[in-house]
Amino acid sequence: MKKQIPLKLFIPEFKGKKIEGFLTFENNNWEIITKNSFSRKFVFEEHKVIYGQNPESKKKYSFVNCFTRYASKELYIYVINEIYEDEWIRTSQEKKYFGASIRLTHLELWDINRLIKFISSNEEKSLYELKEKIIDSFRVNKTLNLSIIKHIKWQRDLNKFHCEEVSEIFFENKKKVSRKQILEDAILFKNFFNLFTTTPIHFKYLNLLNSEKKEIKVDFNFHKTEKEDRFNILIERKEIEADLNNILPKLYSKKNELNEVIQLFVQSYLLTNMQLSFLSIAKGIELYHKAFKEVNNKILLKELATKIKSEFDSFTHKKVNPVWSFNIRLYHLHTILKNFDSYSSNPVFNIAFIERLYHSRNYYTHLFEKNKYLWDNTELNNANIHLRIFLRTLILNEIGVKKEIIEKLIKTEVKRFGHIKDEKNEYSIFK
């Protein structure tokens, strides 16, 4: 669907020069189209901010991080990364906000509680029972509250009305915070939701709340989508509902470390190249250990280094230094995950799995000489599936999800994809 909004546009460097143009939306991308450049030159440009105003409604827009996609004598097209409606933001005077409301793809399906309940039907009509809304609120820390609100949204289509269930997340801060912090908080919850599904989750929208509690609509081209893939759920929200008051504070107290780790986990789903997907998970596993399990304990390091020499065939001829190297990190995490029955009883997750992970990561990162311990391109497909289980288990355990929930999740994942067996299946290109 294509949208066009007429605007008068200008940049801070040339406040007196206003250019007529259009804000367009097509193929899930916002762009600015004008007949003139802002610098009066036929060049490709980058702009920190472009201001716009609709000549009829007087509505204001701020377009942040823009660059030229196409330039000719009479046509200029600018790609936009961030859009703020209803205000001209000043980058030199960072405006702060009290919070935000966000909507994510598939969030309504994660919660099985329904506002629209079917009662009965006949040839003339159908009867439904409607609830007004469901509100679940959680205190994340001393200054931040998070609420999940499910409500009914009515829409008119010609002469008919129809409704849908809509779930939104509200972040409310007791004091004003920056746009960057609000976005980080929103991305972390999106990433948290991603841990309970195999379907990548995206923003539908994000609205900032200013001092008057008025919503400032925001679009991020690089985070938003209108496409909704088929939703594959692993754990329903009701199964962790009672523990969210403990899980969310832990999650947000470790925001800086976890956001990057979970982002690498999610990225592994989005990357179509199996080698890049594998490297994304491997990096996430190593980063997780660096962030949460590195301890200045020479006794533990020496113990792990000694055990790893005896259990890894490919390390028996090498001297292992007592430092946190990648092989010792993997072995340490492997011993931690042995506490989960679904992990330790799965024939996939043996010491050979860790050994292959170590050598494959080194090979695909540095293109070392191939050896017998590598996963080849065909085997990486299945290996990536089980590595996501590996990393997902570590993250959920870190934020306090109950052991029985994690056990169920591991079993669900393994049941969906089967095992990687050591012996070759002559009927398959995979192991």
* pLDDT tens, residue by residue, 326-361: 888 888 898 888 888 888 877 777 888 888 888 899
Is pLDDT at 4 greater than 60 in this prediction?
yes
Tokens of residue 109, six digits: 């399906």
Q: Which H/E stretch holds residue 350?
A: none
Other CB atoms closer than 10 Å to residue 9's CB: what's the count?
Answer: 22
Measure the CA–CA gap between 429 and 263, rounded to whole angstroms: 30
Give 90-145 pLDDT, tens digit per residue.
764 567 889 999 989 888 888 766 655 655 566 655 555 556 677 889 999 999 99
Other CB atoms closer than 10 Å to residue 100's CB: what's the count?
Answer: 24
Give 308-325 pLDDT, tens digit per residue.
777 766 554 455 556 788
Read out DSSP for 366-429?
Answer: H-PPP-TT---HHHHHHHHHHHHHHHHHHHHHHTT--HHHHHHHHHHHHHHH----SS--TT-S
Other CB atoms closer than 10 Å to residue 294's CB: what's the count?
Answer: 11
Is pLDDT at 227 greater than 70 in this prediction?
no
Give 361-408 pLDDT, tens digit per residue.
988 888 877 777 788 877 888 888 889 989 999 999 999 999 999 998
| pTM of the model as a whole | 0.80
Tokens of residue 110, six digits: 């994660």
Tell me the CB-side half-sphere exposure of residue 131, using CA atoms within 13 A. 14
